[in-house]
Amino acid sequence: MYLYVEQWNVTTKWMNPSKEERRAYMNKVEEAISEMQKSGVENLGWAMNDEHTPYRSDYRYMAIWKLPSLEDVKRFEHGIEEAKWHKYFSQVNSRGEILPLKDAMDFLVNLEKHSTSVIDD
């Protein structure tokens, strides 16, 4: 199982189409999501980033997904590209295989100084 986190902001290109055109676009996105859910993709939720979040990211909107396999993740990403989502939204993503809490904690404990995930502070 994989978790997939999308975060995005609206671009000015999204504001150019009429509200009716935006609704038509989102209706197509909803149809695509319904199709994905038939194959086991689960949307865990959509949200707007609370402005009072400590250490808040600069992205206003988010969606979190649970996908059965890496193959499903790649189909999901392909669908986003086909929908031309990035034409209208500036987005960043995070994805990874779901780890049990103990494994995730052990990984962080056992990191080595030369790890690529270490950031100079």
Q: What is the pLDDT averaged over residues 95-113?
A: 92
Contact 78, 85 (CB under 8 A): no
Q: Of 75, 52, 61, whose CA–CA distance to 14 is shortest?
A: 61
Task: Give dist(CA 89, CA 106) in Å, integer.
Answer: 36
The tens digit of pLDDT for each residue in 4-53 reads 999 999 999 999 999 999 999 999 999 999 999 999 999 999 999 999 99
Task: Give dist(CA 8, CA 2) in Å, integer.
Answer: 20
Predicted TM-score of the model (pTM) = 0.88
- C-alpha count within 13 angstroms, C-beta hemisphere, residue 68: 9
